[in-house]
Amino acid sequence: MKVIIAAAGTGGHINPGIAIADIIEKENPGSDIRFIATGKKLEEDLIHNAGYKSYAIEAYGFSKKISIDNIKKTIKTIKGFSQAKKILKEFKPDIVIGTGGYICGAVISSAHSLKIPTLLHESNAYPGLAIRLLSRKVDTILVGIENAKNDIKGAKRVVYTGTPTKVKPLNLSLKDKKNILKKTNINNDKKVVLVVGGSQGAKKINDCILDIIINKKNVNYNLIWATGKGQYDSIKEELSNNKMNIEKLDNASILPFIYNMDEMLSVSDLVIARSGALTLTELALMGKPAIFIPLPSCSSNRQEDNARVFEKNNAAKIILNNEVNGDNLNEMINSLVEDDNLLKDMSKASNKMAVYNVEERIYNEIKRLVG
């Protein structure tokens, strides 16, 4: 099978694309699967480390603001349509799949004009602009959260499949968990709070956690904190200015990035995170309670919509980005880690939202289109 996957921008778009590629490769060994992205380093690192080739085209979001920069971006995005069509004509894929980012507009539209079967996957509770604009062109739309179906109008076929992820539940013994924690220099029995801000880190969350550590507020719990590669050095410097060694902290382990997310989730009692769709999928599969700090957006509140789904089901608490600080975040953490029964109830509620057989559901839809 020859497949093009369009995914760009963030790990939340690219990782589901990689997971779908892995499904196809597993079911059809030897398939030729290639990505179309925008050539950014994060995209290339994730795609190439997963063993797939990629093309790069120009793609930007459209802005209502008139400026020289936005005009240039619009011209480049229009150019991206012809770049995408050229790639598709030369490669001749059996199917084109989009998993998110502005790039989907050019790639899916080009595939539609060439009469190549198309499939889009929407991970979020509220569909993004690309999905809504392409809904009448694409052959099948898959959604990761069921109520997203209500906001997709005019589509030929919409199927609830869940969101694919490489993170899977691990059956770890207590000894296994202790060994994993030892590798992160955590050697006590306090509750473990995992802090992640997405593939690039989250400045607002990082500022709050830095305040907690510098003022030694995390006396009742351990922190495993992924800062994001781009913010790690500045955090290390800030700690040094406060006479603290980033590698020798009380009740805290700080990492630039987490590659073994399944292990880190397995040893954690509580997760603090943005509320991207992939994060929600992973937390549900692992049955982890969360404190969500949704990424705000001027165009939509997509992450807050995601977080509210978990909050409504008693699986998470929410602090909005413009309200969170080190004090109220620490207060909420303490209120949760000190209540075992509440954590257990939230964990069960989270796990009830997990979708299983995601890969099988998605592959069945791909097979239906390719024949």
338 located within any domain: yes
pLDDT in tens, 48-61: 999 999 999 986 55
Of 124-138, 176-190, 356-370, minimum mean pLDDT range: 124-138
168 located within any domain: no
Does 236 lie in the same domain as 110?
no
Q: By residue range, what is the domain housing residue 19?
A: 2-163+356-370
Which two three-digit tokens encode residue 138? 């694409």
Classify residue 82 as left (phi > 0), alpha (psi -120 to 50) or beta: alpha
pLDDT in tens, 162-199: 998 888 899 999 999 999 999 999 989 999 999 998 76
Does 234 lie in the same domain as 344?
yes
Q: What is the rounded CA–CA span in Å between residue 83 and residue 368?
A: 28
Q: Which of 40, 35, 30, 29 is nearest to 52 (CA)?
A: 35
Does 74 lie in the same domain as 219?
no
Does 363 lie in the same domain as 296?
no
Give me the chain's average pLDDT, please.
91
| Residue 195: alpha-carbon gap to chain centroid | 14
Does 216 lie in the same domain as 115?
no
pLDDT number for residue 55: 95
pLDDT number for residue 39: 85
What is residue 294's DSSP assignment? P
What is the pLDDT averaged over residues 38-44? 86
Label residue 278 by pLDDT band (50, 70, 90): confident
Kindly report the pTM of this predicted structure.
0.82
> What CATH code is carried by the domain that includes residue 224?
3.40.50.2000
Four-residue CA torsion sign, 107, 143, 54, 93 = negative
- The DSSP H or E segment spanning 191 is strand 191-196
What is residue 295's DSSP assignment? P
Q: Which of 150, 171, 149 is nearest to 158 (CA)?
A: 149
Does 291 lie in the same domain as 201?
yes
pLDDT number for residue 301: 79
Per the model's pLDDT, the better-predicted residue between 103 and 31 turns out to be: 31
pLDDT in tens, 86-95: 999 999 999 9
Label residue 360 by pLDDT band (50, 70, 90): very high
Q: What is the rounded CA–CA span in Å between residue 261 and residue 124?
A: 20
Cβ(140)–Cβ(119) below 8 Å:
yes
Please list, in sequence order, all residues whose beta carbon lies within 8 angstroms of the beta carbon of residue 244, skipping any fewer than 6 positions away.
213, 214
Does 321 lie in the same domain as 208?
yes
pLDDT surpassing 70 at residue 152: yes
What is the pLDDT averaged over residues 279-301? 88
pLDDT number for residue 168: 86
Four-residue CA torsion sign, 16, 21, 22, 27 = positive
Q: What is the rounded CA–CA span in Å between residue 272 and residue 334?
A: 13
pLDDT number for residue 165: 87
Does 230 lie in the same domain as 158?
no
Does 138 lie in the same domain as 32?
yes
CB atoms within 10 A of CB 119: 27
Q: What is the rounded CA–CA span in Å between residue 279 and residue 303?
A: 10
Q: Which of 185, 244, 217 is nearest to 236 (CA)?
A: 244
pLDDT surpassing 70 at residue 239: yes
What is the pLDDT averaged over residues 108-112? 95
If you search the block for the tokens 């805290």, which residue do you land on? Answer: 252
pLDDT number for residue 198: 72
For the chain, how many structural domains are there in total? 2
Does 312 lie in the same domain as 325?
yes
99 located within any domain: yes
Does 366 lie in the same domain as 218?
no
pLDDT surpassing 90 at residue 66: no
pLDDT surpassing 80 at residue 9: no
Does 243 lie in the same domain as 154?
no
